[in-house]
Structure 1
């Protein structure tokens, strides 16, 4: 379905070296004026210069050569190519020049380019900040430029702003000067050589907290006025992360300061602008009374991720968007390294598997997945690759590589890569060469099979006992979500094996570099279990014979098998169920072995699988039976943990309590729902404040069977808080109401001015995830698609909305309906998402047809 547009990159006959950029935003009229003079190298004689410009008006363009000024003949804009071509009166000779533009534009409300972000002063007055978001291709919406990652230059940035506003950019302030009319001119130091997508400015009202890292970098966290204490946690993380990375890469952070700032209207989670990282408020601010543990953990990861980019992405930048994964996959891996270093109690590498690795595998077994490295032509195609493959699969294959070559060589390789290519651009092969040089292992040969081709393998294992030896036959084929087999593809698979003799230790490792291989393990009795892929490090699925699986079950029950192996086992089996290679009932029987499980991440993985099944069964009459099954499974852990946090309990137990109570609410467990409502009532009446970790569950319990009055009470709670995280939590909980008429009001509320555009999507998704709201939200989408398209202009928020509104259907009729709708209505940047959704609907339908009877039989026996 992907319609590749004809698209040419900018000609290379003229290149920028330096920009002098001055911007004057008007935060009341929502306009800005700008001027830029760009030092250029003219490499071939020409009378035309083509560069990027979109949604801006250029009122004047001239070029100064060493001895004369050449006038412009005309400027031609191409909306399709997002360019401006300036034609000059006479030919420009080879040499240096100064290209000058005067331009103006609108401070838009689309959260891209130079845009306006609404906020409220402590007294409740509505105001706006001016903010930039240029990745991937939106610097051109702010000023005429060579808006491609490889066209690096230095920047001198000047802002003309109100005297009472904070003005920030990538570098520290060089000088300020008061002007008339209450304005001031703020000039910033020159930036290093960098890509346009990393340029940033922010103008608004903010408080800040500051500190210095041990290596002397000034770190500031900017917050809404009156909330600076909410920046302290991020400040602590950032001041520790900078020296950690400096030490890990053995390369110093090259800027004198690092600012982190919370932006009220922000479409992504955060953006790594060099020296001025912008965040959604929910990804930066911590309110000690109202922030949940899982949110605090995700803030630590996000700060770690964006600061990793300061080296990986900013100092060394991918040559073109095809190599986006070099930025994102790498930063997604490193954020876990640094959080593990700062917060060992988070057990974050175990959580990596449920948060990153399994989500990548789920997307990557679809026929409409894409390789990690994907050709990008038009800017509209870039948005779509900011997805599970670039981030999660990218991070997962780097984790596999890190294990394969070892930490020491990995660090050495990173240092070679960063020092060799600093202030330049690279492609994937440059990274492999550096790691190969450091480790003397065939990195490029192994890794190209993971990066260049789509999907991943399933390793099937057969086992035979010969005396005190175990003979294993391992074979590989491509794993497909629909169960079809393909042996066209081939991977170089790093395989590790552990055994009952030493759980968690590697008994053997090797590269599976052919279709199948026979491996012999010595000194093993016939009752000993064998586990392939210990630690769930290799990016593949494992398929065992039923005898081998049975041998593992006692080790699951006794928890002798390490947590990541217990997790990998159930996750692989559920994937086999979805592909029709095992029965749903078999997976539910295996889950029985996990009743004594105490590990948060293992429960996370079980929950992920059961949630998929819950959505599937919501199309049948087995909902009550499945709810009973769920209550029986989760209730014992809830009883063990209780409602109230114990003194000094682990971070992971806090997360587990929240997970389990949430699940029991969704299974409509009478006792849990009753207690949740009681605690909610105390919370609303200010008798006893609910801990942040339990709020989502209690809000949902209260809303599930709620009426108009309950809904109004919840809205009152929403309106009474000014913490973004709490608003987010309440608005998403509204999706759990089961009354369809009230759910329609929730959708109206989501589209109202009360909910920020970046959050509306998630409120609508919450309604769509509710079986009662599924059809209604799809109808709503079709009727309001123009409005939504206008609001999000393509982009990943729209893709996210389409994914969750459609992929939970489960019939061929629905698949055809969705297919037909998107054939006749075009939504740029969502083609791949739509194809994946249609494929998922058909997979759901096949799963139901295949397994409904045996699942029913199993649930009725429970």
Structure 2
């Protein structure tokens, strides 16, 4: 689908520029509007009678300009704006004065009003309940990428960094927070019941990092080892839910300070849980805002997965305090510099804080694999993508900016080594502190620190769409092994047509005589090469991409793949390597390079796999094939295959936590029992029903890690009474994680009546606006029936849904309710709908959804018969795994 809404690159004129904003905001938490006034210190660089600024959805009451000479006490005329002209499409306002503004310093004062909206962007209202059940509202800002202009008239571009003096006028008894520490609080003259709260001046920073929160919160606090004051703000009555995030933050800030060799530059850092929040979190300098589930951990009832997720998100946002806030991207084209780096280092931080999480293996299964899947599409985009207008930025808050960005940084870190990498980061942060930088600036600093051709290597990864697949074969020559390696662009839809681009690829190689060590590293700089591995016996396997650090896929010759199968079975290959083999195979199958039936044969080698992360990846790839077969007559045979694959590890883990078992064992138990119950494994289903009954009737509370698989099993195989019970549980609990868990399992129901109830529930007052899309996605993602019903529901309710989420990344989630169909008819249906209902902030998501549907359709047509034959043949041998393909 052609993108018809792109607008040319837009920046503001340079004739007038700000140096400081003195901002006062007075939100009305009953009428849902706010009064604002701002004194802007400016420099007039060119004689002009007009000042052009960003402004949208605010009404300017008056604007005056005072020349610097008058500020200094000399006689000068204050100018009042004679014209206020809004350019709504461009989100600008032009202030016209009766005479030209003289060159030099001056002060622009603007009084205005705005709406405290319900769109979760700009300055908005967030609904919450007090412990006694009263409904109240907080006022919250969310300004990235370009919503500061709806809070104050300003120069809303990341490169225009200035200081801010913030004052909040708030009701007595309400907490007021901003980026900096509070410096004063006094009753407002002529405004009974209101207090004026002032804050210290911020460092020089971009407008999108400005933050304000007014509401009622509890908090816990502490200090880092280097003296930074840390507070975690929670809903009233839930201060104990903030202790885990506080622990993470107190460990994380000194870790980053040491790693970057740059002190945290503010006197405090606040982390606050917001009831209504459109994204996971936002890195506002000194006041980081989070969705409640991304920050709060109930010490009594939060799952292992929830604790790990909070640790990662806290690590991510605190990394931005340096990488993004202290040094900021020059323009949104370089968004990945913020997000890719923070995504990489959040794992480094969590690995430092919680080594038992084995978090880097999980990085491969989550971010690395996710990025490879997304970047294999024709409708992907380069890491560095031209952004003409900030309104287009929401399209690139995606797997490429975050996960591919993190993956190529991880690859570069491994290639140049940690010492050189840290030295380069320190150089970058100190050279550009309180300024802006581009991708090339980071490469130059890392090149200086390492002596490696960083810019030349990384340019191939950031400016080109996609990544390579390495085709590799080997031959034995005496005591040496010779590898023949050729690269070509990987295409999810098949072989690349035309002359393939090339990448500079750092290739790590391990061998069977020492599986856990990198035997050698080579840099592939052209289309193909021959690599000699000296002294390797003929009976030893060879594995490329040791540790799955390189951002590429590997297609082995049949003899090389056969040699690796025993190392999968006996787990002599490390987990990341076992994971990447089957992950590459499923992608190569989608591309038509290998048969999906052969992928299932190889998967049987993982029958006794002990590692959670490998199972997590297997689970995802099982789902990919399930999508193909869900409408076929062999789907029940496929379910039997999956049950046989998952049963041994399910038996080993059992239902009860074993004394001394690790964090990942609990997560693996959840994953395995979820799949077994979903696919009707009789012993699992019977036990799930028994435990659910005990839980509901109060005989024995379900452990929190067991709730999702139990709820899914009983919903999948239950009736309306089960849905009634689970919705009753939703209404009676005040545990945020439990509410979220229930919302995410409702789509497991198997009848059209129950699925429709779930969909209707998604738009009810009981579900927060931020969560509606996830309930719909739950219905779309768990059954053939639900997939069709969710897509119909989205289309039928598009006006309301688009009104809620217009201009946000949430529309992309709704688009993807249709992304797992597998027919050309459905692809044309999606195209027809969005041709008449355009979504400028999710155009790429529409294109990718249609491409994915067509990929599924082609894959099914190509491999459907082979899959059916394999599953039927397997049934005749009773699931015997002795014939595993090698």
Q: Which category describes the TM-score, using the shorter chain as reference length? A: over 0.9
Alignment-derived partner of residue 222 in structure 2: 211
Check conservation: 1:5, 1:377, Cα contact below 8 A: yes
The aligned runs of 1:214-253 (5 Å cut-off) are 214-253=225-264
- Counterpart position of 2:790: 777
Using the alignment, how far apart are the partners of 1:485 and 1:254 within structure 2? 48
Q: Which residue of 1 aligns with 2:403?
A: 392
Structure 2 residue aligned with 1:657: 669
- State which of 123, 132, 138 in structure 1 corresponds to 2:132: 123
In the aligned structure 2, how far is the partner of 1:546 from the partner of 1:419? 51
1:435 aligns with 2:450: no
Instruction: Identify the residue that residue 733 of structure 1 maps to in structure 2.
Output: 745
Question: In the TM superposition, what is the alpha-carbon distance from 1:483 to its structure 2 partner?
Answer: 1.0
Deviation digits for residues 211-238 of structure 1 (CA, Å, limit 9, x no counterpart): 0000000000000010000000000000
Cα deviations by residue, 1:589-639 (Å, 9 ceiling, x for unpaired): 111111121011111111111011112211211221111111101011011
Shift of 1:861: 2.0
2:122 and 2:141 in contact (8 A); partners too: yes
- Secondary structure of 1:593's counterpart equals helix
Query: CA offset at residue 288 of structure 1?
Result: 2.1
1:793 maps to: 806
In structure 1, how many angstroms separate the alpha carbons of the residues matched to 2:526 and 2:413? 22
Matching residue of 1:488 = 500
Q: Is 1:671 aligned to residue 683 of structure 2?
A: yes
- SS of structure 2 residue aligned to 1:98: strand
Supply the distance in 2 between the matched residues of 1:241 and 1:177 (Cα, whole angstroms): 35
Q: CA deviation at 1:859?
A: 0.9
Q: What CA distance in whole angstroms lies between the structure 2 residues aligned with 1:839 and 1:213? A: 49
Instruction: Please tell me whether the aligned partners of residues 37 and 111 of structure 2 are also in contact (alpha carbons under 8 angstroms).
Output: yes
Q: After superposing the two structures, state which structure 1 stretch, 416-425 or 11-20, moved more.
A: 11-20
Q: Any conservation in 2 of the 1:289–1:692 contact (CA below 8 Å)?
A: no
Q: Secondary structure at the match of 1:829?
A: helix
Task: State how far apart, in whole Å, the 1-side matches of 2:495 and 2:445 are.
Answer: 38
Q: Does 1:301 align with 2:312?
A: yes
Within the alignment, does 1:555 sit opposite 2:567 as a pair? yes
Once the two structures are superposed, the pairs formed by residues 265-284 of structure 1 within 5 Å of their partners are 265-284=276-295
**Correspondent of 2:187 among 168, 178, 203:** 178
**What is the TM-score with the length of structure 2 in the denominator?**
0.96
Give me the whole-angstrom Cα distance separating, in 2, the residues matched to 1:686 and 1:211.
Answer: 38
2:3 maps to: 2
Structure 2 equivalent of residue 323 of structure 1: 334
2:288, 2:738 → 1: CA distance? 23
Q: Secondary structure at the match of 2:606?
A: coil
Query: More deviation in 211-220 or 478-487?
Result: 478-487
Structure 2 residue 358 is the aligned partner of structure 1 residue 347: yes
Distance in 1 of aligned mates of 2:856 and 2:670: 29
Question: Partners in 1 of 2:212 and 2:670 — Cα distance?
Answer: 39
Secondary structure of the structure 2 residue equivalent to 1:795: coil
**Partners in 2 of 1:8 and 1:182 — Cα distance?**
44
Aligned with residue 818 of structure 2, among 781, 787, 806: 806
- Distance in 1, matches of 2:593 and 2:224, equals 53
Q: 2:209·2:283 contact (CA, 8 Å) conserved in 1?
A: yes
Deviation at 1:8, TM superposition (A): 2.0
208-217 vs 374-383, which deviates more?
374-383
Contact 1:282 1:724 in 2 (8 A): yes
Q: Is contact 2:689–2:714 with CA below 8 Å preserved after alignment? A: yes
2-side partners of 1:61 and 1:114: how far apart?
21
Q: Which residue of 2 aligns with 1:446?
A: 457
Equivalent residues of 1:619, 1:810 under 8 A apart: no
Matches within 5 A, 1:443-522: 443-486=454-497, 487-522=499-534
Is 1:289–1:691's contact at 8 Å kept on the other side of the alignment?
no
- Check the 8 A contact 2:174/2:215 in 1, yes or no: yes
- Name the SS of the counterpart of 1:412 in structure 2: helix
Q: Give the whole-Å Cα distance in 1 for the aligned partners of 2:735 and 2:137.
A: 18
Residues 760-792 of structure 1: CA deviation (Å, up to 9, x unaligned): 000001111121111122111112111111111
Q: Which residue of 1 aligns with 2:99?
A: 90
Worse overlay, 792-801 or 759-768: 792-801
* Distance in 2, Cα, partners of 1:608 & 1:504: 25
**Per-residue deviation at 1:692?**
1.1
Corresponding residue SS for 1:16: strand
Which residue in the other structure is 1:60 paired with?
62
Whole-Å Cα distance in 2 between the matches of residues 652 and 225 of structure 1?
Answer: 32
Unaligned stretches of 5+ in structure 2? 70-75, 875-886
Correspondent of 1:139 among 140, 145, 148: 148
SS in 2 for 1:775: helix
Are the counterparts in 1 of residues 473 and 485 from structure 2 also a CA contact under 8 Å? Answer: yes
Q: Deviations over 1:138-168 (max 9, x none)?
A: 0111111111100111000000101110100
**1:773 partner SS:** helix
Q: Which moved more, 1:719-728 or 1:268-277?
A: 719-728
**CA distances 1:391-410 after superposition (whole Å, capped 9, x unpaired):** 00000000000001000000
Deviation at 1:7, TM superposition (A): 4.8
Structure 2 residue aligned with 1:79: 88
Q: Distance in 1 between matches of 2:771 and 2:307?
A: 19
Among 341, 347, 353, the alignment partner of 1:336 is 347
Is the 2:375–2:400 Cα contact (8 Å) retained in structure 1? Answer: yes
The aligned residue for residue 878 of structure 2 is none
The 1:691–1:271 alpha-carbon spacing in structure 2 relative to 1, beyond 3 Å, is same
* Conserved 8 A contact 2:240-2:299: no
Aligned mates of 2:150, 2:717 — CA distance in 1: 47
How far does the alpha carbon of each residue in 1:245-293 deviate from its partner, in whole angstroms, 9 at most, with x for none? 0000000000000100000000100000000000001001101222110
2:845 maps to 1:841: no
SS for the counterpart of 1:325 is: helix
Pairing partner for 2:201 from 164, 176, 190: 190
Shift of 1:701: 1.1
- Which of 6, 11, 14 is equivalent to 1:12? 14
What's 1:688 paired with? Answer: 700
Q: Which of 416, 420, 426 is the aligned partner of 1:415?
A: 426
Q: C-alpha separation between the residues in 2 aligned to 1:595 and 1:403?
A: 31
Matched, 1:51 2:53: yes
Offset, 1:823: 1.3
Structure 2 distance, partners of 1:754, 1:652, is 33
Give the conservation status (yes or no) of the 8 Å contact 2:332–2:390.
Answer: no
Distance 1:666 1:78 in 2: 54
Whole-Å Cα distance in 2 between the matches of residues 2 and 727 of structure 1?
A: 38
Distance 1:448 1:689 in 2: 55
Post-superposition Cα deviations, 1:360-386, rounded to whole Å, max 9, x if no partner, equal: 000000000000000001222100100
SS of equivalent to 2:411: helix
Q: Any gaps of 5 or more consecutive residues in structure 1?
A: none
2:422, 2:698 → 1: CA distance?
Answer: 52
Aligned to 2:35: 33
Cα distance in 2 for residues equivalent to 1:62 and 1:723 = 51
Cα-Cα RMSD: 0.9
Shift of 1:13: 1.4
**Mapped contact 1:705–1:739 kept (Cα < 8 A):** no
Asked if 1:286 is matched to 2:297, the reply is yes
Rounded to whole Å, the distance in 2 between the matches of 1:637 and 1:783 is 43
Residues 175 and 215, structure 2, Cα contact 8 Å, conserved in 1 = yes
Report how many aligned residue pairs link the two structures.
Answer: 861
Alpha-carbon shift at residue 488 of structure 1 (Å): 3.0
Which moves more between the two structures, 54-63 or 286-295?
Answer: 286-295
3-state SS of paired residue (2:442)? helix
Counterpart Cα distance in 2 of 1:824 and 1:267: 26
Q: Secondary structure at the match of 2:802?
A: helix
